[in-house]
Structure 1
């Protein structure tokens, strides 16, 4: 008897399969549903999610426990990992965490506004530079963590700004009210501690640093790029409004069409409609998107996105992205966003991307 491939058995009856349940996909879907509830922001966030935060904190990989444990807020909002073999980690949450990592659930914002920047946890920030300007656990870093208990970017910024008070002499024996209160907490030299807090903000990429917010282009403005190729289409950065960091979490994975290739059928060369249709019989517009970046993630990064419908199609285009510290992931996402914006009134749009 000849063996039948499992993928064939999972196909619908009309395609010669038996609609066999994909148990792994089903389990992943269940785990992602649990993760979706876990990542909800207040007041919708369930009570059990806060307990899971504590469990994950206790099970953090040792290298991430260099900061005070209370500063490990959420592994999907920050960049620390959970040790999945820890004895105290319940199976359901182990599966939830592992599935989230499998599908690259993480914080992603194209152009975060200051409100989100300030609410982001500072320690193990997702936008931390590869090489720290100021290490976490120097003398003042420990003071910021354990004496002042500063957790978010906004906390550090407010602490650093205390030195700007007109009454602060920035001396160890300063008699201003802020310095008196900080010394009462146990801070040895409040002005130095605050200067260090400001320096630590330089650990963040400019896109996440509220001190750099003014350099970003306002909504509706057309960016001017020196030496811009006239055949490239400039794109205006999008500004998302998130009340909590959890709301900026995204999932990235290959879709069912990831193995498709562009059609070269001459019949469709100048037609936006791909030779496919939806389950309801409506024709589907198919667009292939891609993004790339040189000097990935650095100040000198140059990134671009591309949309491809069909050979010689007038809607095929390239997009040059403005800004610094761009990455290939940003370019990929912007290509998808551009495809959606180009086809806002299309009932059935199929985007094929990697």
Structure 2
């Protein structure tokens, strides 16, 4: 029951749970000692461990809670999460981070993203990448702007102490790409095809209110709503690392979510292609003329 109350991550979360977050964050294993204080938000939502030994100094009630959770493999074990739920997860020490993101948790530019841009969750990282709603200048290529961008957003960031707004946006882009597909809200994951229709959901709701009719079980594996609802016990490690197996889509499939590929070529290559095409047309015309001449001679 204590673990359930502690993992209530919505508005109903008790005040003591926030205090316990800070206490646990101050008693970590050696592997997490290098973590910046602001990166450690919740041990069940991130990839770092608390030190639960008797010598750690962690209060008994906190050790009992964590050891009980560990005994029953309590973890964020939703098979599949919708995009809004993925955006609520902490970015730093992300559960679905690859080895590259883990190396970027405690860099100087990551410190700037946390302290100057307020990046703590995936949602805040996306806002930083998009220019926080103000700067729409490209961050790569010849059309990208330097760190002296004159837009209101970049000026505000420099006023807060960020010396390189564009470089921070580039870093945000890299961080987002280092999140595994199961956890990345930018990846277009197919629907599970198991969700009940709206009409069926309304009938289920009517049945709960009137106790009349049939209640149809919702077989959807996609978790929605709050993070509190995504916790499971007896979770295997593979469940948290790999995306679920989904039924293949029927018929012709149009893959969405990927930007169209643009090919650029120089005028030299274009002129060479045009010359080659012209030569091919001349060869065809000459061959047709030769065939026509041979036919007339036979007559």
The answer as to 2:182 corresponding to 1:207 is yes
Report if the CA contact (8 A) 1:110-1:237 is conserved: no
The answer as to 2:151 corresponding to 1:151 is no
The answer as to 2:39 corresponding to 1:64 is no
Deviations, residues 50-79 of structure 1 (Å, cap 9, x unaligned): 111010011122322433212211111212
Among 32, 38, 52, the residue aligned to 2:20: 52
The answer as to 2:65 corresponding to 1:83 is no
Deviation at 1:202, TM superposition (A): 1.5
Cα 1:251–1:73 shift into 2, 3 Å: same
Q: Helix, strand or coil for the counterpart of 1:206? A: coil
4+ residue stretches of structure 1 with deviation over 6 A? none
Instruction: For 1:107 and 1:96, locate their aligned partners in 2 and report how far apart those are by CA, in whole Å.
Output: 16
Q: Helix, strand or coil for the counterpart of 2:48? A: coil
Instruction: For 1:92 and 1:119, locate their aligned partners in 2 and report how far apart those are by CA, in whole Å.
Output: 28
Deviation at 1:92, TM superposition (A): 1.2
Deviation at 1:322, TM superposition (A): 5.1
Deviations, residues 14-61 of structure 1 (Å, cap 9, x unaligned): xxxxxxxxxxxxxxxxxxx21111111232222111111010011122
Deviations, residues 179-221 of structure 1 (Å, cap 9, x unaligned): 1111111111101101101110122111211111x23236459
Q: Which structure has more strand as a fraction of its residues?
A: 1
Report if the CA contact (8 A) 2:29-2:51 is conserved: yes
Among 140, 144, 147, the residue aligned to 2:109: 140
Aligned residues: 217
Q: Helix, strand or coil for the counterpart of 2:23? A: helix
Instruction: For 1:165 and 1:149, locate their aligned partners in 2 and report how far apart those are by CA, in whole Å.
Output: 16
Deviations, residues 297-335 of structure 1 (Å, cap 9, x unaligned): 57xx9x8xxxxxxxxxxxxxxxx6459xxxxxxxxxxxx
Q: Which structure has more helix as a fraction of its residues?
A: 2
Cα 1:103–1:172 shift into 2, 3 Å: same
Cα 1:134–1:165 shift into 2, 3 Å: farther
Report if the CA contact (8 A) 2:193-2:220 is conserved: yes
Deviations, residues 125-179 of structure 1 (Å, cap 9, x unaligned): 1111245486223332221123333110111111011188346753111011111
The answer as to 2:10 corresponding to 1:36 is no
Instruction: For 1:133 and 1:94, locate their aligned partners in 2 and report how far apart those are by CA, in whole Å.
Output: 26
The 5 Å alignment of 1:286-297 reads none
Structure showing greater radius of gyration is 2
The answer as to 2:154 corresponding to 1:179 is yes
Cα 1:158–1:65 shift into 2, 3 Å: farther
Report if the CA contact (8 A) 2:28-2:50 is conserved: yes
Cα 1:60–1:133 shift into 2, 3 Å: closer
C-alpha RMSD over aligned residues: 3.0
TM-score, normalization: structure 2? 0.64
Q: Please say which of residues 60-69 and 199-208 is displaced more in the overlay.
A: 60-69
For residue 230 of structure 2, what is the aligned residue in structure 1?
A: 248
TM-score, normalization: structure 1? 0.55
Give ranges in structure 2 of 5+ residues lacking alignment: 139-143, 196-218, 249-299
Among 190, 195, 211, the residue aligned to 2:165: 190
Report if the CA contact (8 A) 1:167-1:176 is conserved: no
For residue 253 of structure 2, what is the aligned residue in structure 1?
A: none
For residue 296 of structure 2, what is the aligned residue in structure 1?
A: none
Cα 1:88–1:149 shift into 2, 3 Å: farther
